Structures are given as C-alpha cells and as structure tokens.
A = this chain, B = another copy of it.
C-alpha cells in the first residue's frame, strides 16, 4: 500500500479536519461527529437537505455542502455506512421547522441507517423524508441497483430547488423524478485499496477491465480485455441510454466521472466520444460535467451518467 496518510485508522477523522480547515468559510464540523454542516444551517424557511455515506468517495459528499446543494453531509468510515446517531445529528442541525430530506444511495447499510435516523428524528418531532438513488445500471434487478454518481445530480437539482422555496413534499417529488431519470454505468481498470486493510479490493490483470464494478469494488457485470476509449464510451453510453429509453430529439446532461486516479485527459477523450455518439443519435447534450465527482479512493476507470432533461429539471441544473 502506497498512500500519503498517517495512521490508517484515522484517515476519516483527519480528512474531515482537513476539509473543515480548507473550507471554513462554507462549512463547519459538528462537535464530536463526522458531520459537516453549512454555516447558514438551519436556513430559515428552507427544507434541509442531508446526504452522506461511506468515506473514500470524495468529493462526495462533503464537497457538495453549500449554497444550492446540501445543508449537511455525514461521513462513515471508509466504504462503511454512517451510523444513525451521526445522521440524526445532521438532521437536527439543518431542520428549520420545514422538514428534512435525506438523499440516500441504495446500499443496505445506508438505507437501514438513514431510515433509523429518520425514525428517531420523527420521534423528536422533525418531519423527515427519504429518497433512495438507484442509478447503477450494472445491476439487473432494479431494487438492488446501487446509488452512484447520479446522486450528484439529485443533490444539485433538489439543492437549487429547495433554495428557491420548494416545500418538503415538492422536494421529495422532484428528487424522485430526478432519480427516476438518471442512470450510470462504470468501468474499472485498476482497483482501490482501503487504508485499514492495505489490500486491493479486487484483482485485474494488466490487460483487463471490469465493466460495471461498484464504487466499493463490488464485482461488475463482465471482465474482459481492455478496449480503446471509444469502445468503452460506446458500451457505457449505450447501456445507460437503453435503460432510460432515451430517443432522438430528447435533451440530456452527461457526467463523465473519474473514479479517483484516472487522468482528466482520459476522461475528456471518453467524453469526446460520448458527445459524438449523442450527436449521431440526435440526442441533445445540453450540459456536461467532466471530472471527479464520485470516486473510489485510487480506483482507475470512469463512469458515464446520463440525466434525461425535461422542463421540470432543466431550470434547476443549467
């Protein structure tokens, strides 16, 4: 294991301290917690927005705390769900009496712990709703689909909408509508290494790639010889477009996301092909995001996320 860390047991705590030190104008860490909260929280009159999950996916989710985004992010240990008590702290810190919406990636631990925190909050009189994001098309059964990079679109769209005054019920509808129209698919070419274990999450040969690997190194759909960027872009994009049933004339936003150690150069080479394919299909690429949004430590590879745009979503994104 070759990492720039101190004691591997302390990576999350030290990372959160670093985030707070770097972005002290925007956010603060709640005492004795792994919760980062926007300074303005609770914003009077606004629905509170909370997300979170295991660490190791930075900038998700702490990097999305701020205006028009999240009010709080809760960090678990590396690739481990945050605990209900931590999530509850976040909920309490952001509620201004207008209720709190939890945006949850579909992992059993996350779903269970966010749900438990929501119940605890309700018991304390805080109105709480949850939306579960399941955008990973690599998993066939829709109920089992993981939440991956598409979650960022939900943060952004709902974050802007609640800032503009949507109430909790409307925010839930918008979040479900966004989550229902976003799909992702990834490929990995190098595994990540969890600091505490020091071992790679999976093994890939020098000429292999894995299509559909999860953001914690969960097995994908297919392991096969590494292809060129254009073929990778094609395979990922086709899968996602098919799943969403997007056809000529529609408008989309696309995120070409790096998993942690893929150079930006490679992401742009992939995005070039995505843009070309969309143009051939007469699907309008209205908004692009290229970079690292949902990572897996030093995993190499990328994912493509497509969001179908409509009159409801577009104003909040563009």
Q: Does A14 contact B (CB under 8 A)?
A: yes
Query: Is the interface on chain A under 10, 10 to 19, 20 to 34, or 35 or more residues?
Result: 35 or more
> How many copies altogether?
2
CA distance A226 to B4 in the complex (A): 8
Q: Does A21 reach chain B (CB closer than 8 Å)?
A: yes
Most buried by B among A16, A17, A256: A17
CB-defined contacts of A6 to chain B, threshold 8 Å:
228-230, 269
Contact: B260 with A261, CB < 8 Å? yes
Contact status A264-B288, CB under 8 Å: no
A166 proximity list for chain B (CB < 8 A): none
Measured between beta carbons, the chain B residues less than 8 angstroms from A187 are 4
9-residue interface stretch from A112-120, A123-131, A295-303: A295-303
Residues of chain B with a CB closer than 8 A to A251's CB = none
Contact of A23 among B11, B58, B228, B288 (CB under 8 A): B288
Chain A residues engaging chain B, CB cutoff 8 angstroms: 2-7, 11, 14-19, 21-23, 55-56, 58-59, 63, 187, 189-190, 206-207, 226, 228-230, 232, 256, 260-272, 275-276, 285, 288-290, 292, 295, 297-298, 300-302
